[in-house]
Amino acid sequence: MLYKTISKDNFRKMLEGLMENNEVMGPRWRDRDAQGNKIYRFLKLNNFDELELDYTRTYSSPKNFFLPFKENLATYKLGDSDWEQDIHYTIHPRVIVGMRACDINALRKLDEVMLKSVYPNPYYSARRENTIIIGLDHEPLEDCFCRSMGADVALRGFDLFLTDIGDKYFVAIGSDTGYRILNQYDAQDVTEDDQLEFKRAKQEIESKFKTQVDVTIVPELMDLEFESEVWEKWGDKCLSCGSCAMVCPTCYCYGTEEEVDLTFTHATKSRCLYSCNLLDFAMVAGGHNFRPDSHIRLKYRYYHQFRGFVEAFNQSLCVGCNRCGVACLAGINPKDVIDDLITTEKL
Amino acid sequence: MSLKIPHHDINLEPTMAKAPDFNRKSERMQTERSFKSEIIAAIPLTAQEKLFHLRICDQAERENFSFLPGQFVMLELPGCGEIAISISGSSSNHEFLELCVREVGTVTGLLHRLEAGAFVGIRGPFGTHFPMRKMKGHNILLIAGGLGIAPLRSPIYWANEHRTDYEDITILYGARDPGQILFDYQFDEWRKIYDLKLLTIVEHPDEDWNGHVGMITDLFDDVPVDPDNTFAIVCGPPVMFKFVCSYLSDLGLPRQRMFVSLERRMHCGMGKCCRCNVGSTFTCLDGPVFDYWTVMNLQEAI
Ligand SMILES: Cc1cc2nc3c(=O)[nH]c(=O)nc-3n(C[C@H](O)[C@H](O)[C@H](O)COP(=O)(O)OP(=O)(O)OC[C@H]3O[C@@H](n4cnc5c(N)ncnc54)[C@H](O)[C@@H]3O)c2cc1C
Ligand code: SF4
Ligand code: SF4
Ligand code: FES
């Protein structure tokens, strides 16, 4: 990989240049929570000053730029007895700036399913291939456990990735597009001092991880503790609201819906993000529900994150951002649930 | 049981002239493209079930469409919805597809109101298939409960079309009552022409019924099973295949030689929507046809 540095001034100019020519999304603050902390969200940037590069965490993840909550899959022109299907992929070039390593790694996990396995998803790839990603390192939050999930360092999946080393950024270059953009803004070769600063910055980040989740035997535990009371303990609290899956950077399950317009001349098929915690996730005709209880559904959310995906792709789906824990009104979070599973005999 | 490890000689299997990657599923394609198909016949079978003959309209799409017994399609009624349906016809029929559909809800309800001449969409074929080639040289035991006979017709046609590949073929078919027996108009042909043994049984007989009465497992009293030389295909509700498969397992039939077809909610057929998730896998990709050993090891499969 190629590395360069860019001064903070030039970085600003670069983003301003990008904003002039493209839609640029970045973390902005929208509101304050009850404690007065800022609530952030990835939104369109109109000028550089709106960008909050030292944001803590966006409530919702940037996955929705690739997997929108609702997306049109096909439209139909309906005739008297005939119909015509039309499929159109949304090509909407964009830059996303300020993505954290965990969110970039989350995208790479989605890539495994959406691009690299059977039936590559053209809707996703139309968006993924037309998005420039500029990532940025940050100091971990109290409850981030991305380090335990091996998702705290992004090595691929971005165009540029920045680490703050004082008055400039140390930049890892992940694509030729990134390289060309960067070089228009007087990027410098990495000096020995820059390297030292980079190491120091990385060590500083590493030293600040507070939350750890021991996931070494979690895939086995998911099986062995399948009947554990831990699931009921947490699952009975679950409101089956699905918020966890909506904010999660890796949850990707969905449902399809078909609608006819009022004139009966057009129909659409759309895809809506869903959650395996919702009551009718596995309900089939005749009313049979393969997962009737909230604790069974909660268990399967964890089972997919920590075992199913491991079996398929040799890595957990979870990247440890704890967005689900923050969003959950019932106080359910992966660290507590997994800790409980590990120490289940103490119940 | 002998401790000699059974082997499966892949030399006996014909190598395929073209890649068995139906629809080139690893290449980028229009995943939501439905092949427009005309209903060329809508045949009522019972009060609840109809058999549909669908002909893909576009010649190239029709010629490219091929499937193996056990696979399914996603059947779409534009503006109404899309559902998974097993292909119930012969895989050598390249002119039309046969689907046997029970009326149970929104999409199936509208489908049942459609008549010949209407157009529907299909995507697929999807999923795994019964390993018919692997079964070469063996007896085949096909066991169906209720609507489970629909997906079994495909392997039955296949077995007939490759009759010398197999030894004895036996079909055991159980239904709740005689009025629910499907495809009885084909039974004579299957027995005489396909040269197979077919036994039926019902739980609740009516006055005219003079066949077997009871549960499907009762038929085993009349059917000798050679555990060293038999493959079994079992289709029906989970309770039924659980009973049948444990019975066969007790007889010594290895669980990886029994095949069942699972049913789950499906919204894509391509391993993307997760709705058909069972244990750690997806029914639409690793299934619907699973060997029983795999099913036993999947959480919540039965
Ligand atoms: C691999 C496979 C093969 C099948 N083969 C056949 C067959 O040969 N004949 C047959 O009659 N039925 C078959 N089914 C069941 C069939 O898919 C359901 O009966 C059908 O989806 C019901 O749709 P509905 O809209 O009429 O019912 P509703 O209850 O109105 O369902 C609404 C929606 O829920 C989903 N859904 C409901 N039940 C099921 C289900 N059992 N499986 C998957 N999705 C469901 C569908 O998206 C459906 O559109 C098969 C299912 C699977 C998974
Ligand atoms: S911590 Fe929660 S929201 Fe974050 S990746 Fe894991 S499951 Fe998803
Ligand atoms: S775990 Fe929490 S956020 Fe997720 S569905 Fe249950 S109550 Fe909602
Ligand atoms: S039907 Fe969508 S994942 Fe299987």
Answer yes or no: do B197 and B88 share one domain: no
Q: Is residue B132 part of a domain?
A: no
Q: Do B272 and A113 touch (CB under 8 A)?
A: yes
CB A277 near ligand 3, within 6 Å: yes
Percent of chain A topping pLDDT 90 = 67
Q: Do B264 and A290 touch (CB under 8 A)?
A: yes
Mean pLDDT confidence for B225-243 = 90
Answer yes or no: do B148 and B236 share one domain: yes
Q: Which of the four pLDDT bands, split at 50, 70 and 90, describes residue A347?
A: very low
Answer yes or no: do B155 and B274 share one domain: yes
Answer yes or no: do B35 and B177 share one domain: no
Q: What is the structure's pLDDT at A163?
A: 94
Using the predicted structure, report yes or no on whether residue A100 has a pLDDT greater than 90. yes
Domain boundary among B126, B147, B168: B126
Q: Is residue B55 part of a domain?
A: yes
B123: chain A residues, CB-CB within 8 Å: none
Mean pLDDT confidence for A135-145 = 89
Of B29, B37, B149, B11, the C-alpha closest to B86 is: B149
Q: Which residue range(s) make up the domain with B77?
A: 10-126
CB A321 near ligand 2, within 6 Å: yes
Q: How far is A301 from chain B (nearest CA, A)?
A: 11
CB atoms within 10 A of CB B80: 17
A298 CA from centroid of ligand 2 (Å): 13
Q: What is the structure's pLDDT at B118?
A: 94
Using the predicted structure, report yes or no on whether residue A345 has a pLDDT greater than 80. no
Answer yes or no: do B255 and B280 share one domain: yes
Q: What is the pTM of this model?
A: 0.91
Which atom of ligand 2 lies nearest, measured to the CA of A247? Answer: 3
Residue A39, burial from CB neighbour count under 10 angstroms (0-12, 13-18, 19+): middle
Q: What is the structure's pLDDT at A316?
A: 92
CB A243 near ligand 3, within 6 Å: yes
Cβ within 8 Å of residue A165, ≥6 positions away: A5, A194, A197, A198, A200, A201
Which 3-state string (H, E, C) describes A38-68? EEEEEEECCCHHHCCCCCCCECCCHHHHCCC
Q: Is residue B116 part of a domain?
A: yes
Mean pLDDT confidence for A66-87 = 92
Residues, chain A, total? Answer: 347
A200: left (phi over 0), alpha (psi -120 to 50) or beta: alpha
Answer yes or no: do B281 and B143 share one domain: yes
Of B120, B139, B114, B131, the C-alpha closest to B42 is: B114
What's the CA angle centered on A33, arms A29 and A35, to 5 degrees? 125
Using the predicted structure, report yes or no on whether residue A221 has a pLDDT greater than 90. no
Cβ within 8 Å of residue A156, ≥6 positions away: A108, A174
Q: Which two tokens stand for residue B130?
A: 């019964």
pLDDT tens column, A146-170: 888 888 889 999 999 999 999 999 9
A89 CA from centroid of ligand 3 (Å): 32
Of A50, A340, A9, the C-alpha closest to A187 is: A9
Q: Is residue B302 part of a domain?
A: no
B103 CA from centroid of ligand 1 (Å): 10
Domain boundary among B126, B150, B185: B126
Measured CA to CA, the distance from residue B158 to residue A254 in angstroms comes to 36
Number of H helices, E strands in chain A: 12, 12
Domain boundary among B126, B151, B176: B126
Mean pLDDT confidence for A56-70 = 93
Q: Is residue B301 part of a domain?
A: no
Answer yes or no: do B112 and B144 share one domain: no
pLDDT tens column, B280-295: 889 999 989 999 999 9
Percent of chain A topping pLDDT 70 = 99
Mean pLDDT confidence for A193-215 = 89
Q: Which of the four pLDDT bands, split at 50, 70 and 90, describes residue B2?
A: low
Q: Is residue B266 part of a domain?
A: yes
Q: Do B26 and A120 touch (CB under 8 A)?
A: yes
Mean pLDDT confidence for A102-126 = 93
Q: Which two tokens stand for residue A255?
A: 């449902």
A24: left (phi over 0), alpha (psi -120 to 50) or beta: beta
Answer yes or no: do B101 and B184 share one domain: no
CB B264 near ligand 4, within 6 Å: no
Answer yes or no: do B155 and B271 share one domain: yes
What CATH number should be reported for the domain holding residue B42? 2.40.30.10
Q: What is the structure's pLDDT at B21?
A: 54
Q: Do A83 and B78 touch (CB under 8 A)?
A: yes
Indicate the SS3 state at residue A151: coil
What CATH number should be reported for the domain holding residue B291? 3.40.50.80
CB-hemisphere CA count at 13 Å for A152? 22
Of B176, B43, B202, the C-alpha closest to B116 is: B43
Using the predicted structure, report yes or no on whether residue B128 has a pLDDT greater than 70. yes
pLDDT tens column, B30-86: 889 999 999 999 999 999 999 999 999 999 889 889 999 999 999 999 999 999 999
Q: Which position has the higher pLDDT, A227 or A63? A: A63
Q: What is the structure's pLDDT at B107?
A: 95
* Dihedral angle over CA of A3, A9, A15, A17, nearest 10: -110
Nearest bound ligand to CA A282? 1
Answer yes or no: do B75 and B154 share one domain: no
Q: Is residue B3 part of a domain?
A: no
Which atom of ligand 4 lies nearest, measured to the CA of B284? Answer: 4
Q: Do B275 and A226 touch (CB under 8 A)?
A: no
Answer yes or no: do B145 and B217 share one domain: yes
Using the predicted structure, report yes or no on whether residue A140 has a pLDDT greater than 90. no
Q: What is the structure's pLDDT at A108?
A: 95
The secondary structure of B24-79 as a DSSP string is GTTS---TTPPEEEEEEEEEE-SSSEEEEEEEESSHHHHHH----TT-EEEEEETT
Answer yes or no: do B114 and B192 share one domain: no
Q: What is the structure's pLDDT at B17?
A: 54
Measured CA to CA, the distance from residue A170 to residue A46 in angstroms comes to 25
Q: How large is the ipTM?
A: 0.88
In sequence order, what are the beta bridge partners of B43? Answer: B51
Contact A83, B78 (CB under 8 A): yes
Q: Which helix (H) or strand (E) holds A105?
A: helix A101-111
Q: How many domains does chain B have?
A: 2
Q: What is the mean pLDDT of chain A?
A: 91
Q: Which of the four pLDDT bands, split at 50, 70 and 90, describes residue B301?
A: confident
Mean pLDDT confidence for A243-254 = 95
How far apart, in Å, are the Cα atoms of A8 and each of A132, A134, A258, A262, B107? 19, 14, 49, 54, 58
Cβ within 8 Å of residue A21, ≥6 positions away: none
Using the predicted structure, report yes or no on whether residue A346 has a pLDDT greater than 60. no
Q: Is residue B47 part of a domain?
A: yes
